Amino acid sequence: MTEPIIKFDKVVKRFGSHTVLDHLDFEVNPGEMVTIIGPSGSGKSTVLRILMTLEQIQDGVVTVEGEPLWHERKNGDLVPASEKHLRKMREKLGMVFQQFNLFPHMTVLRNLTEAPRQVLGLSKKDATERAEELLERVGLSDQASKFPHQLSGGQQQRVGIARALAMRPKIMLFDEPTSALDPELVGEVLKVIRQLANEHELTMLLVTHEMQFARQVSDRVCFFDKGRIEEQGPPEELFTDPKRERTREFLKAVLDPDA
Amino acid sequence: MLFGYEWDTSAGPLVFAWSILPILLTGVLVTIQAAVLGFGIALVLGLVLAVLKAAPSRLISWPAHGVAEFVRDTPLLIQLFFLYYVLPEYGLLLPAFMTGALALGIQYSAYMAEVYRGGIEAVARGQREAARALNLSSARTFTHVVLPQAIPRIIPALGNYLVSIMKDVPILSVVTVMELLNVAKIIGDRTFNYIVPLSLVGLIYLIMTLIAAGGVRYLDKTLPKKGIALK
């Protein structure tokens, strides 16, 4: 049994009096592609945001590669993490946002080279080479000198994926990457994600409403409801033979909304 | 005679007006210099104040709030007198012009800090989150992600303050700065004709502020809304 690369241990997250994650236990193995589905407000995006250190947790422990994320060990005690520790942990993770969040005042190339140069200390030449390689991988070699607003939504999101990959993370987090896209642009983004999943080099966590896609590419699908994992399993099993009533309801509602 | 120019009161108001124009223009120059210098000080000091006010530590943000509030809620004239008459007692002796520009700069920095804050807060939260996810330092995020997107949005507001500062420059006449109004007043004192020089001051001010406002509008139109491009 391999050590999980991500581990949530009784994690509690509250926004005011609203509990988003309720003593969540959750594990992801290295190289695994896990899709999180569930109704909105079920805490699925929060899982990714906690991992990317965009949201703090109130209780429990999150570990990444065996090291606590929001805490650090000091003289045998777990104390809240310093910014230095968070920066070190963040290196392991990359995130793709629903709204792309590209830097609008930078060219596509600069979007991809800014962090590698500033954070990883790459030379301009190396960062540019890395960026060009990634742009080719996402099929945007000819767009390097354009600004984000000159691209379509699908192209912007592919730049978003390339930008995250440029930091060479071990874990990629996709937070509803196609939800803000016109339907005809969804495919080009999913194609890139599928490629990444097939390479099996990255551990991937995907929050999505694209059920068909989740079924095809995931190693495991987790159904979130009310801040907990209601049910999880291999996609074929979860989609064809869900065990829990709540899962059945949800899948029926999203897969067959007219019925 | 003033600054080496003679005036001519013998042939009616138009000739008089024409003859004092060169003298008034030396005053215009001082007014513009004071306004631009004061504006420059306010631009820098205002940004510093905005950053300090937003500091995570209360040890920094509270004094910054206090200073800004104090400066905003006391009259410019009192601050000017303080800088001009009180500071020299503690050994800080500045020329009248510098004191005046400094007073304007300090007063307006408190207003501009608010403009900066608004502009900075208007930058989408997702931008900061993306920078964080990419592990950019908070300093780098501020200077290379937030500010380039905030500045184009606040140019009109900053420009309005430039016009405003220009209109506050006459206050500096009380500490002997030879700006436009002061020059006009001296001409009036000497010739017993106030209506012509003071009317000219009003007219010159109207022209200056119209030009400045036009410049601001031009900048607002030409600056890209998406932020200052970083190649």
For residue B116, the number of C-alpha atoms closer than 13 Å in the C-beta half-sphere is 24
The residue ranges of every structural domain in chain B are 12-225
- Is pLDDT at A155 greater than 90 in this prediction? yes
Q: Looking at residues B98-103, what average pLDDT do you find?
A: 95
- Is pLDDT at A255 greater than 80 in this prediction? yes
Compare all CA atoms of chain A with the CA of B127 and give the residue at the minimum distance.
Answer: A101
The encoded tokens of residue B101 equal 């520009």
Instruction: Please report residues of B whose CB lies closer than 8 A to that of A104.
Output: 149, 226-227
Q: Looking at residues B123-151, what average pLDDT do you find?
A: 94
Calculate how close chain B gets to A106, using CA atoms only, in Å: 5
Give the CATH number of domain B12-225; options: 1.10.3720.10, 3.40.50.300, 1.25.40.10, 3.20.10.10.
Answer: 1.10.3720.10
- Is pLDDT at A2 greater than 90 in this prediction? no
Coil vs helix vs strand at B181: helix
Q: CB B136 to CB A54 under 8 A?
A: no
- Is pLDDT at B183 greater than 80 in this prediction? yes
Give dist(CA A77, CA B105) in Å, integer: 51
pLDDT in tens, A57-93: 999 999 999 999 999 888 888 888 899 999 999 999 9
Q: CB A147 to CB B231 under 8 A?
A: no
Instruction: Single out the residue of A84, A159, A168 nearest to residue A122, CA to CA.
Output: A168
Q: CB A53 to CB B130 under 8 A?
A: no
Q: CB A52 to CB B127 under 8 A?
A: no
A 217-236 residues with CB < 8 A to B: none
Whole-model pTM: value is 0.86
The encoded tokens of residue B67 equal 């200073």
What is the pLDDT at residue A3?
87
Give dist(CA A173, CA A206) in Å, integer: 6
The closest CB to that of B228, out of A105, A119, A164, belongs to A105
Q: Label residue A1 by pLDDT band (50, 70, 90).
A: low
Q: Does A168 touch chain B (CB under 8 A)?
A: no
Q: Does A119 touch chain B (CB under 8 A)?
A: yes
- Is pLDDT at A145 greater than 90 in this prediction? yes
Q: Are A169 and A161 in contact (CB under 8 A)?
A: no
Q: What is the mean pLDDT of chain A?
A: 93
- Is pLDDT at B1 greater than 70 in this prediction? no
- Is pLDDT at B5 greater than 80 in this prediction? no
- Is pLDDT at B92 greater than 90 in this prediction? no
Q: CB A105 to CB B224 under 8 A?
A: yes
* Angle subtended by helix axes B58-73 and B12-53, to nearest 10: 160
Q: Does A94 touch chain B (CB under 8 A)?
A: yes
Instruction: Please report residues of B whose CB lies closer than 8 A to that of A106.
Output: 229-231
The encoded tokens of residue A43 equal 């805490």
pLDDT above 90: percentage of residues in chain A: 85
What is the pLDDT at residue A9?
94
Q: What is the mean pLDDT of chain B?
A: 91
The closest CB to that of A119, out of B135, B224, B228, belongs to B135
> Is pLDDT larger for residue B7 or for residue A30?
A30
Q: Does A110 touch chain B (CB under 8 A)?
A: yes
What is the pLDDT at residue A245?
92
Phi/psi for B218 (5° steps) reads -65, -45
Q: CB B133 to CB A94 under 8 A?
A: yes
The string of DSSP codes covering B40-62 is: HHHHHHHHHHHHHHT-SSHHHHH
Instruction: Single out the residue of A31, A46, A39 nearest to residue A172, CA to CA.
Output: A31
Instruction: Please report residues of B whose CB lies closer than 8 A to that of A167.
Output: 134-135
What is the pLDDT at residue B122?
92
What is the pLDDT at residue A259?
65
Calculate how close chain B gets to A108, using CA atoms only, in Å: 9
Compare all CA atoms of chain B with the CA of A118 and give the residue at the minimum distance.
Answer: B136
Q: Looking at residues A50-56, what average pLDDT do you find?
A: 95
What is the pLDDT at residue A56?
93
Q: Looking at residues B81-98, what average pLDDT do you find?
A: 90
Q: Looking at residues B16-29, what average pLDDT do you find?
A: 92
Q: A-B interface: how many C-beta pairs under 8 angstroms?
A: 71
* Angle subtended by helix axes B12-53 and B195-222, to nearest 10: 40
- Is pLDDT at B231 greater than 70 in this prediction? no
Give dist(CA B25, CA B142) in Å, integer: 42
Q: CB A115 to CB B132 under 8 A?
A: no
pLDDT in tens, A201-214: 899 999 999 999 99
Q: Output the CA torsion sign for B20, B25, B26, B30.
A: positive
pLDDT in tens, B38-65: 999 999 999 999 999 988 889 999 999 9
> Is pLDDT larger for residue A40 or for residue A9?
A9
Contacts 24+ apart (CB under 8 A), A72-76: none
Least confident of A65-79, A130-144, B105-119, B188-202: A65-79
